[in-house]
Amino acid sequence: MWLLRYDFAGIIERTARDVHPPGYYLMAKPWVSIFGNSVFSIRFLSLIFSVGIIFLVYKIVEKLLNTRAAYWSALFVAFSPFLIRFGQEARMYGVVAFFTTLATYFFVKCIKDKDHVNRNLVLFSLSMIVAMYTQYYSFFVIVSLWVIYAIITPEFWQLHWIRGIKEAKGVFGWKWWLANVSLLVLYLPWFPVAYKQVTRVGGSYWIKPEWITLQTIPANVTQFLSYTHLDYLYSWQGTIGMVAWWLIMLVLIGLGALLLYKKETRIVGVALYIFGYLPMLLVFIVSKLRTPIYQDRYFPFSAIAIFVIWGSVVALINSKKLRVAAGTTFLLFMVVGLFIMRYDVNHQMRQVTDEIKSQEQPHDVVVSGSLYTFLDGSYYLGYGNIKFVSKPVDGYGETSLFYDQAKDYIVNPNRLASLGSRVWILGRPGEDYVKSTPLQNWAASTVIQRGTVRAVLYTR
């Protein structure tokens, strides 16, 4: 919301100093100009794209398998606590999931509908370039589609490459290559910026190396299903809990092998596994060998593919009673996940800032010790009505929003006492923001804590 206060040139310039491409913000700018900058408005933009994913999943699976599989797959996508959580956040996750799914839809139509290949490839390219300008992980989707196309091209895995090139079969088709070359050409304007961003991330990133373990990908799968990594089970009763955890992971990840058993679903099953797990595997490898960049929420498109795997497996069950029982079991896990999500996502900035406003006196000053509570607090309290307690910032990452306006938004921790006799400090519970500052000997006269946000009034 802070970024959308700038014009298009300002959005691009400041996004270039962050770690993401500008696509989402360029879409959101005209949206808030028309529909306002309320929380409902900006979340609703993401929601529109996220609901569109459900329809696309149904159409894709119906084309690849059958109506029953399409129904269960779309139902699971609709109920996923992971996709519901990030599908209505004012960030790019729901948007990139929509456009990668849309590109996949046209990819499937290109293979299935030989009469409209040109049109479908053009629409594929347009959808994918929007995704690429929205989130960098879209590149892993392109890699997955290339691998899938190669597998379903007999000339490729039979090593008849010359014949495949001569006859323009499958992955060797010049139109397919032209479509992908067009993506590179369309991305050239942003490539220098992307290179600088990747280089900065390669030097350091906020994700810690110790977070990336053999549990990472399996835990990500349970996050899709029930919004929890089941850490409490893994640590329960030592070896017993660990074995139980891995057995659950084996079932969830291996369940799709049933698609490989039947000849008519085998190719689709392989394609879904590649689309779902290859991006996560590639990022995992990069995280272990280079820089940790693996984060659950970066893979909404993988989540969609995995839900389609589970939905297609449920659809394979011939007995209606057993099919409904199996599908309902998945849905129950998701419903539990929705309750876990409601408990876990407990960032009540609006409630805290409302209480600050109700208790504020003339000449009170509000500052934030945390960058994230500063950005959120600015939205609810008003830009300029709260300052960030910090030494000079480098202007990269989130600080790109205000690095050139330090006098308006940043206050040195050593100057806190000069702000007045009543200073509110906004931050996260458990963090000490006044240690080694002039306020450490002041009285904490009021404490407001709601969820994962806390405000303390210091007086002298």
Q: What is the pLDDT of residues 247-271, one digit of tens each?
A: 999 999 999 999 999 899 999 999 9
What percent of the chain clears pLDDT 70, i.e. is strictly above it?
A: 100
Is the pLDDT at 202 greater than 90, yes or no?
Answer: no
What span, in angstroms and rounded, lies between the C-alpha atoms of 170 and 154? 8
Is the pLDDT at 72 greater than 90, yes or no?
Answer: yes
Is the pLDDT at 63 greater than 90, yes or no?
Answer: yes
Q: Please, what's the b/e burial string for 330-354 (b: 16 or more CB within 10 A of its CB; e: otherwise)?
A: beebbeebbeebeeeeebebeebbe
**Three-class secondary structure of residue 91 per DSSP:** coil
Q: Is 262 exposed, middle or buried (0-12, 13-18, 19+ CB in 10 A)?
A: exposed
Residue pair 25/73 in contact by the 8 Å Cβ criterion: no
Q: What is the mean pLDDT of residues 418-425?
A: 95
Give the per-residue pLDDT at 207.
87
204: pLDDT confidence band, cut at 50, 70 and 90? confident
Structure letter (DSSP) for residue 444: E
Give the per-residue pLDDT at 395.
92
- Where is average pLDDT lowest: 119-123, 340-344, 375-379? 340-344
114: pLDDT confidence band, cut at 50, 70 and 90? confident
Which tokens is 387 given? 């300052």
113: pLDDT confidence band, cut at 50, 70 and 90? confident
201: pLDDT confidence band, cut at 50, 70 and 90? confident
238: pLDDT confidence band, cut at 50, 70 and 90? confident
Q: What is the mean pLDDT of residues 331-343?
A: 95
237: pLDDT confidence band, cut at 50, 70 and 90? confident
What percent of the chain clears pLDDT 90, i.e. is strictly above it?
A: 89
Give the per-residue pLDDT at 45.
96
443-450 β-sheet, strand order: 410-411, 387-389, 365-368, 422-427, 453-459, 443-450
Which tokens is 159 given? 């090593």
What CA dihedral angle connects 60, 65, 68 and 70, to 10 degrees? -10
422: pLDDT confidence band, cut at 50, 70 and 90? very high
446: left (phi over 0), alpha (psi -120 to 50) or beta: beta
Q: Which of 308, 346, 340 is nearest to 428 (CA)?
A: 346
What span, in angstroms and rounded, lies between the C-alpha atoms of 69 and 134? 30
Q: What is the mean pLDDT of residues 219-226?
A: 96
Q: What is the mean pLDDT of residues 199-208?
A: 81
Mean pLDDT of the chain: 95
Is the pLDDT at 229 greater than 80, yes or no?
Answer: yes
Q: What is the mean pLDDT of residues 181-185?
A: 97
Q: Positive or negative CA dihedral for 247, 249, 252, 257?
A: negative
Give the per-residue pLDDT at 103.
98
Question: What is the pTM (predicted TM-score) of this model?
Answer: 0.94
Per-residue pLDDT tens for 7-52?
Answer: 999 999 999 999 999 999 999 999 999 999 999 999 999 999 999 9
What span, in angstroms and rounded, lies between the C-alpha atoms of 368 and 57? 43
